Homo-oligomer: A and B are copies of this chain.
Amino acid sequence: MEKLWKKNFISIEPYTAGEQPKSDDIIKLNANENPYPPAPGVLDAIAGTRGDSMRMYPSMDAMPLKQEMAAHLPSLYGVELRPENIFIGNGSDDVLATAFRAFFNSDKPILFPDVTYSFYPVWCELLKIPFETPAVDADFGINVKDYAKPNGGVVIPNPNAPTSIGRGLDFIRELLELNRDCIVIIDEAYIDFGGESALPLLSEYENLLITQTYSKSRSMAGMRIGMAYGSEELIQMMYAVKDSYNSYPLDNVAIAAGIASLQDEEYFRDSLAKVIATRDRTAAALRELGFTVADSSTNFLFAEHDKLTAQEIFAHLRERGIYVRYWNKPKIGNRLRITIGTDEQMDKMLEAIKEMV
C-alpha cells in the first residue's frame, strides 16, 4: 500500500549522530566537555529544588537568571548590560537557531567561514537561508576582507571551532565596520578560555549579537543553557520568534543552577585557569612530538602530525580507549581535535601517542 500520508513530509536529510562511547573506562576527549564539575553551589541549588518548582511553569524568559547575569557582567567582562539586552535559550544551539530565524531573511547569502561550526549550514538548510562560505587561509585564518561583499548577515565564531583560533577586538571591529547594515553574530561558545569578548562593542554596534553557552567554560553541557547579548531591539525580536514556538525553553532547575554558577566567580576562574594550564602544557608536549598545533584560545587543540596521519592516530588512541575527534573531510582531514581533559588524562593520551612516534 502506498503511504500517501508521507506526501507532506519535510524534505530534510536525517542526521547521523557521532559516536557516544558509554563505558566508564574511556577517556572522552571528543565533545569539548569540561573535565571539572561545575561550582559546588550548582549542585546545592539543584538539590534544593522544591515541589513548586516542578508543578508550576517557569519564567517565560528566565528573568531571574537574566538579572543575575546582568549583575555579574561587569566583573566577568567589564560591561554593563540590562536584562533587556539578554536572551536565554535551551542551549546555544537553540539560541543561534532562533537568531538565524529572526535575522536572516534576505535573498542575499549570509556569510560564515568554510571551516567552522557544522551546525550553521544545517540551520540554513532547515530555514532556507542562502549562504556562502569564504575560505579560511592555509593556517585556518579568517580574512576579514572576505566579509566585505553584499550579504544577508554574518556569523563568525570567536574563537573559531574546530580551529581553536581566537581573534582580537580589532578584527571584530573591522568586521563590524564592513557590515553596518546587516546583523553580525559573534558566536563566543569558547570565549572564556582566553579569548577577547566582543561584549564591550555592544554599546557601539546595535547590529551586533553575541552568543555564549554554559556548556564549555561553566561545565554545564548537561543542563542546556545558552544566551545571547545584544541591543534591546535584537533581543525583542528574538523573543518574538521564541514566543512563537516554545514559551518556556528553560526549566526551573536550569534557572536555579545557572544562577548558582554565576555566583561563584572564584571557582569559575580557578577551573578555567586549570584547563588553560593543561592546554598550554599539552600543546607544548604535542609540538615536541612532531605536531603542528594551532595557538588555542579554547578548551581543545587542533593538531596535525608531520608524519603520521590523523586517521591512524585516531585509530591508535581509540584502541586504547581514548576518544578524540577526527573528520574525513577536505581541508581538515589530517587534523585531530583534542578536548582538554584533566592532567592525568592528557598524560595518558601523550603516552599513547609516544608509542607511535
Chain B residue numbers with a CB within 8 Å of A90 are 90, 246, 249
Q: Which of B13, B33, B237, B250 contacts A55 (CB 8 A)?
A: B33
In angstroms, Cα B244 to Cα A237, docked, is 22
Chain B residue numbers with a CB within 8 Å of A146 are none
Say whether A202 faces chain B, with CB atoms less than 8 Å apart. no
In angstroms, Cα B247 to Cα A142, docked, is 27
User: Which of A77-85, A122-130, A346-354 lines the interface with chain B?
Assistant: A122-130
Say whether A207 faces chain B, with CB atoms less than 8 Å apart. yes
User: Which of A101-109, A161-169, A287-295, A301-309 lines the interface with chain B?
Assistant: A101-109
B14 lies within 8 A of A243 (CB) = yes
B9 lies within 8 A of A34 (CB) = no
Q: Which of B5, B43, B54, B181 contacts A220 (CB 8 A)?
A: B54
Which of A17, A57, A122, A250: most chain B CB closer than 10 A?
A57
Chain B residue numbers with a CB within 8 Å of A101 are 10
Say whether A210 faces chain B, with CB atoms less than 8 Å apart. no
A8 lies within 8 A of B247 (CB) = no
B222 lies within 8 A of A54 (CB) = yes
Q: How does the 8 Å CB contact mask read for A1-24 relative to B, with 1 for contact and 0 for none?
A: 001111111111111010010000
Q: Which of B8, B91, B223, B254 contacts A103 (CB 8 A)?
A: B8
Identify the closest chain B residue to A2 (Cβ): B181
Identify the closest chain B residue to A45 (Cβ): B49
Known: A57-B221, A222-B58. A181 touches B5 (CB 8 A): yes
A183 lies within 8 A of B15 (CB) = no
In angstroms, Cα B235 to Cα A14, docked, is 12
A97 lies within 8 A of B57 (CB) = no
A266 to chain B: closest CB distance in Å? 17
Say whether A191 faces chain B, with CB atoms less than 8 Å apart. no
A5 to chain B: closest CB distance in Å? 4
Chain B residue numbers with a CB within 8 Å of A195 are none
Q: Which of B49, B55, B239 contacts A46 (CB 8 A)?
A: B49
Q: How does the 8 Å CB contact mask read for A37-66 relative to B, with 1 for contact and 0 for none?
A: 110001100110111111111111000000
Chain B residue numbers with a CB within 8 Å of A153 are 8
Chain B residue numbers with a CB within 8 Å of A53 are 222
A107 to chain B: closest CB distance in Å? 9
Say whether A233 faces chain B, with CB atoms less than 8 Å apart. yes
Known: A13-B240, A42-B54, A223-B252. A8 touches B91 (CB 8 A): no
Chain B residue numbers with a CB within 8 Å of A54 are 37-38, 42-43, 219-223, 257
Q: List, sorted by A's number, 26 A–B pairs whose CB atoms are closer than 8 Å.
A: A3-B206, A7-B106, A7-B181, A8-B104, A8-B152, A10-B102, A12-B237, A15-B240, A20-B60, A31-B56, A35-B55, A38-B55, A43-B49, A43-B50, A46-B46, A55-B221, A55-B222, A56-B222, A57-B221, A90-B90, A91-B247, A93-B245, A94-B245, A94-B249, A123-B244, A223-B252
14 extra interchain contacts, Cβ-Cβ under 8 A, other than A122-B244, A122-B245, A222-B252?
A5-B180, A8-B182, A10-B237, A20-B59, A28-B56, A35-B55, A36-B51, A46-B49, A54-B223, A56-B221, A123-B245, A221-B248, A224-B249, A253-B254
